[in-house]
Structure 1
Amino acid sequence: MKDRLYYVDRLRISAFAILILYHSSAAFFPDMGWLIHSARTSPTLSLIMDFPRAWRLALLFFVSGMGAAFSFRSDQSVAFLYKRTIRLLVPLLFAMAVLLVPQVWYERMYEDGYDGSLPTFWVTRYFTEGRYPTGNFTWAHMWFVAYLLVMSVICYPIFVYLSRPKNRIMAWFERVAKTWAIYLFVLLPLALNLALSPIYPKETNALYNDGAWFAVWASWFGLGFLIARNHQTLIGPIIAKRFVSAAIALATTVFLYAFAWLAPAEQAIGSYANDTPLFKAAIFLLAWSMILTLVGFAARHFNQPDARLVTLNRLVFPLYIIHQTVVVAALYYVLPLGLPAVPSFLIIAAATFVLSGLFAIAVDFIPGRARLLFGLDAKPPNAAGGRNIVGAER
Structure 2
Amino acid sequence: MTTQRRYDIDWLRVIAIALLLIYHIAIVFQPWAMFLGFIKSEELMTGLWKPMTLLNVWRIPFLFFVSGMGVYFAIRKRNWKELIMERSRRILLPFLFGVVAIVPLHFLIFQAYYNLPLGYSAHPAHLWFLGNIFAYVLLLAPIFFYLKKSENGAFKKKLAVWMSNPLGPLSLSLLFVLEVILVKPQVFEMYALTWHGFFIGILAFFCGFLLVYSGEAFWKTALRWRWVYLGLALGMYLTRWFAFDLVAPGYLMAVESVSWILAIFGFGYRYLNKPSAVLSYLSQAAYPVYILHMVALHTAAWVILPLNWPIFLKFLAIIGFTGLFCFVIFEFLIRRIPFLRPLFGLSWDFKTSKIKAVSVPSLD
| TM-score, normalised relative to structure 1 | 0.83
Q: 1:203 and 1:2 mapped to 2: Cα distance? A: 35
- In the alignment, which of 240, 252, 257 is matched to residue 287 of structure 1? 257
Give 2:184's aligned amino acid. Answer: S
- For residues 52-80 of structure 1, give each alpha carbon's deviation from its aligned partner in whole angstroms, at most 9, with x where no partner exists: 11111111111111112121222133211
Q: Shift of the alpha carbon at 1:294?
A: 1.1
Q: 2:163, 2:217 within 8 Å by CA — same for their partners in 1?
A: no
Flag the 1:295–1:144 CA change in 2: closer, same or farther, 3 A. Answer: same
Flag the 1:336–1:65 CA change in 2: closer, same or farther, 3 A. Answer: same
Runs of 4+ deviating beyond 4 Å: 198-204, 383-389
Q: Shift of the alpha carbon at 1:171?
A: 3.5
The answer for the alignment partner of 1:130 in structure 2 is none
Q: 1:106 and 1:25 mapped to 2: Cα distance? A: 18
Task: State the Cα RMSD in Å.
Answer: 2.5
Give 2:226's aligned amino acid. Answer: R
Q: 1:375 and 1:194 mapped to 2: Cα distance? A: 36
The answer for the alignment partner of 1:213 in structure 2 is 197
Indicate the SS of the match to 1:337: coil
Equivalent residue runs for 1:217-296 within 5 Å: 217-260=201-244, 266=245, 271=247, 279-296=249-266
Q: 1:233 and 1:15 mapped to 2: Cα distance? A: 24
Q: 2:322 and 2:21 mapped to 1: Cα distance? A: 8
Give 1:49's aligned amino acid. Answer: M
Q: Shift of the alpha carbon at 1:229?
A: 2.0
The answer for the alignment partner of 1:172 in structure 2 is 158
Q: 1:40 and 1:200 mapped to 2: Cα distance? A: 25
The answer for the alignment partner of 2:181 in structure 1 is 194
Q: 1:240, 1:296 within 8 Å by CA — same for their partners in 2?
A: yes
Q: Shift of the alpha carbon at 1:386?
A: 4.8
Flag the 1:323–1:201 CA change in 2: closer, same or farther, 3 A. Answer: closer
Are positions 1:91 and 2:94 aligned together? Answer: yes
- In the alignment, which of 64, 67, 72 is matched to residue 69 of structure 1? 72
Q: 1:388 and 1:59 mapped to 2: Cα distance? A: 18
Flag the 1:202–1:58 CA change in 2: closer, same or farther, 3 A. Answer: closer
Q: Shift of the alpha carbon at 1:141?
A: 0.5
- In the alignment, which of 78, 83, 92 is matched to residue 81 of structure 2? 78
Indicate the SS of the match to 1:175: helix
Give 1:91's aligned amino acid. Answer: P
Q: 2:6, 2:357 within 8 Å by CA — same for their partners in 1?
A: no
Q: 1:314 and 1:383 mapped to 2: Cα distance? A: 9
Are positions 1:345 and 2:315 aligned together? Answer: yes
Flag the 1:150–1:353 CA change in 2: closer, same or farther, 3 A. Answer: same
Give 1:192's aligned amino acid. Answer: E
The answer for the alignment partner of 1:129 in structure 2 is none
The answer for the alignment partner of 1:103 in structure 2 is 106
The answer for the alignment partner of 2:335 in structure 1 is 364
Q: 2:310 and 2:186 mapped to 1: Cα distance? A: 42
Q: Shift of the alpha carbon at 1:361?
A: 1.6
Higher mean C-alpha displacement, 319-328 vs 156-165:
156-165
Q: Shift of the alpha carbon at 1:319?
A: 0.7
Q: 1:227, 1:234 within 8 Å by CA — same for their partners in 2?
A: yes
Flag the 1:386–1:59 CA change in 2: closer, same or farther, 3 A. Answer: closer
Q: Shift of the alpha carbon at 1:341?
A: 3.4
| TM-score, normalised relative to structure 2 | 0.90
The answer for the alignment partner of 1:57 in structure 2 is 60
Q: Shift of the alpha carbon at 1:254?
A: 0.9
Indicate the SS of the match to 2:222: helix
Q: 1:359 and 1:377 mapped to 2: Cα distance? A: 17
Q: 1:365 and 1:381 mapped to 2: Cα distance? A: 9
Structure 1 residue ranges without an equivalent (≥5): 116-120, 127-135, 261-265, 272-277
Q: Shift of the alpha carbon at 1:40?
A: 0.9
Q: 1:381 and 1:220 mapped to 2: Cα distance? A: 35
Give 1:382's aligned amino acid. Answer: T
Flag the 1:202–1:145 CA change in 2: closer, same or farther, 3 A. Answer: same
Indicate the SS of the match to 2:76: helix
Flag the 1:317–1:216 CA change in 2: closer, same or farther, 3 A. Answer: same
